Chain A
């Protein structure tokens, strides 16, 4: 019986996938897990709630502030007993404002915020330093029960080292205090080695018509009278 298990599992997985897809189609605005992993909703007076109410297009759902496309712009996880932000945290990489105060967080958030390039306001417990350190932020304010990191800095321009990235690469911010090498303008592909795009239509058009005309010309002048052997 054992060899049949994988196929049964695969079938099951397919069913689950189909079910999820159906649900997804039904409710286009399914909330990301990060918004519901902590019970309750955003408190009325929190910074995230204030941010969300500034614009009428934004809506509060559970712990998140979403825009009409369902993108997370704000995330309020205060008082959630988190030791670390958890595996679903990268779902919130589009957030502009995040509140993590009143959590027993370990002080090692350097790589947690990789990819959080939009983040402008981060509220942390008082004993946790801002990710990336003092240089990564415009303004760091400490209060009695929390700490606010404000205004992410772009370190690419400040480092001033043009040789930071391989050929055709260029530096881009990758979250607070983090940098990455992406392809420079106009370059794409593996190792950013490719530039522009080949136009097959033009090439094969010219080649095809040239081949056709030369073939017809040569057949007419050369091979037409040839004996078929």
Chain B
């Protein structure tokens, strides 16, 4: 088996300069902060719905109106909760739309400016949403909806930009494992957001928003002064140039157009790429790139399942097993843990194989099994946590891999080498389609759970996971054939 150069030529780490480390950390934490402000919103939901409603407490004692019931935005906490759920859905849809747009913008303007602007402006919107309205005691449903739509659009600048920057710095040789580790940023953001929010929530929910928004704003400023969007900016050679020098590794992990029978490096393509034309490709061109549409559709199905676990797992646990909400919240972290380990390990394996689709396929097949297993989990916290980690490993892992490593592969495939400005657009398309799937899924899960029960929710998840496999099956077949041929060629040459 042909091992990639990373294992032949010293360790992965020795090839990285301090610039690589700083870029990794800056992009990691900038996306973490964006995710933290989203998490804050879900953690202060109870406090917000308290603020928006009059007290429902029944007592013979006089409850002075100005303390207990002067706010009548919603008559009851249930309706406030319903509105907060609507805000979630609105956010996901505008986030999905924003991803398509900001990917295009990110490839045309400086990634650093777009990311920095996105972080600072979305921090300001969150500040107005949570803090200013409370300070002015101005509560208005339509204002909240509008602000949350704008926030979704601005937040969407984050993901395409950070993935593009990471794609610029980290070559495909070690991409799987680096991106696997890196995609822990969302989970770290969740934990960060939960910590920030809970530490100031006692002063009032407006301070939870104030703190996360301020930290996010500060992050935007640091990004502006510290981020190098690509090695070329400081005169280092770009990763394509590096990789083209290294025999074998220029072969893409995702090869749609390449002739698989031809195992020799295709020099004609390489020669073309020496003429660097830094012109961004159009949206339709990006959609037509091989692999983009199958992976987008697959990711829509997989992100649906993955996000449903995010949003509904604590509720399912407290609803189905009657566990306390705080405990269910804590327990659901194991799903994230499984996802991080899964993403890193599967990325590592796919780096060795130099093909990602077969790893995805195997993991998704096992995911179906783990879903069946999890749906039959006994009422025992440690067994449930274990099953949850396994499920996270097989569902969160592939999901992380598609949204980061595979998006970067797709945006940097050799068809567009030289015009590297496709990365953000492609990432935007993949994650945007995925987010639409997630938004629809939010609604469907609540509907199915309400009408048919939790068991059918799991059947729905299994169906969606199968659809994921179906959408990438052409790629799976092609890449497995390639692996088989490579093996035969290897055996023949010995």
Q: Which residues of A contact B (CB under 8 A)?
A: 114, 164-166, 169, 171, 174, 178-183, 189-198, 203-204, 207-208, 210-211, 214-219, 221-223, 225-227, 229
Contact = CB atoms under 8 A, between A and B. Distances in A.
Contacts of A171: 61
Contacts of A218: 22, 26, 222, 225-227
A191 B222 contact: no
A204 B214 contact: yes
A222 B62 contact: no
Given A166-B68, A180-B64, A181-B61, A193 B226 contact: no
Nearest to B232: A227
A152 to B, nearest CB: 16
Nearest to A211: B218
A189 B110 CA distance: 45
A45 B427 CA distance: 91
Contact of A191 (B62, B67, B110): B67
Contact of B110 (A174, A210, A221, A229): A229
Given A183-B67, A198-B210, A204-B214, 4 more contacts: A164-B60, A194-B204, A198-B203, A215-B222
Contacts of A182: 64, 67
13 contacts: A164-B61, A181-B64, A181-B67, A182-B64, A193-B47, A194-B203, A194-B204, A198-B207, A207-B214, A211-B218, A221-B18, A222-B234, A223-B225
Nearest to B203: A198
B63 interface: yes
Contacts of B203: 194-198
B55 A191 contact: yes
B424 interface: no
A226 B225 CA distance: 11
Report, nearest first, the 9 A-B pairs whose CB atoms are least far apart. Answer: A218-B226, A166-B57, A215-B225, A198-B203, A211-B218, A180-B62, A194-B204, A219-B225, A179-B61
Interface string B358-376: 0000000000000000000
Interface of B: 18-19, 22, 26, 47, 50-51, 55, 57, 59-64, 67-68, 70-71, 110, 200, 202-204, 207, 210-211, 214-215, 218, 221-222, 224-228, 233-235
B205 to A, nearest CB: 8
Contacts of B47: 193
Nearest to A166: B57
A226 B59 contact: no
A191 B66 CA distance: 9
A225 B226 CA distance: 11
Nearest to B215: A207
Contact of B222 (A198, A203, A211): A211
Contacts of A217: 226
A229 B233 contact: yes
B228 A226 contact: yes
Contacts, number: 114
A198 B199 CA distance: 11
A197 B70 CA distance: 22
Contact of B202 (A166, A195, A204): A195
Nearest to A225: B234
A76 B47 CA distance: 48
A192 B55 CA distance: 11
Nearest to B137: A190
Nearest to B58: A166
Contacts of B214: 203-204, 207
A215 B68 contact: no
B202 to A, nearest CB: 5
A135 to B, nearest CB: 14
B225 A192 contact: no
Contacts of B18: 221
Given A164-B59, A181-B64, A211-B221, A225 B110 contact: no
A227 to B, nearest CB: 6
Contacts of A221: 18, 22
Nearest to A179: B61
A227 B235 contact: yes
A215 B202 CA distance: 31
A207 B227 contact: no
A40 to B, nearest CB: 35
Nearest to B278: A229
B200 A198 contact: yes
A203 B211 contact: yes
Contacts of A214: 222, 226
A226 B71 contact: no
Contacts of A207: 214-215, 218
Contact of A180 (B61, B222, B233, B234): B61
A3 B50 CA distance: 43
Contacts of B204: 189, 193-194, 198
A192 B70 CA distance: 13
Contact of A222 (B22, B51, B59): B22
A216 B204 CA distance: 33
Nearest to A217: B226
Contacts of A204: 214
A166 B50 CA distance: 12
A155 B120 CA distance: 54
Nearest to B224: A215
B110 to A, nearest CB: 7
Counting chain A CB atoms within 10 Å of each CB, the highest count among B50, B51, B227, B233 belongs to B233
B277 to A, nearest CB: 16
Nearest to A227: B233
B228 A223 contact: yes
Nearest to A114: B62
A21 B158 CA distance: 57
Given A193-B51, A207-B218, A218-B225, A166 B211 contact: no
B368 to A, nearest CB: 45
A214 B225 CA distance: 9
Contacts of B22: 218, 221-222
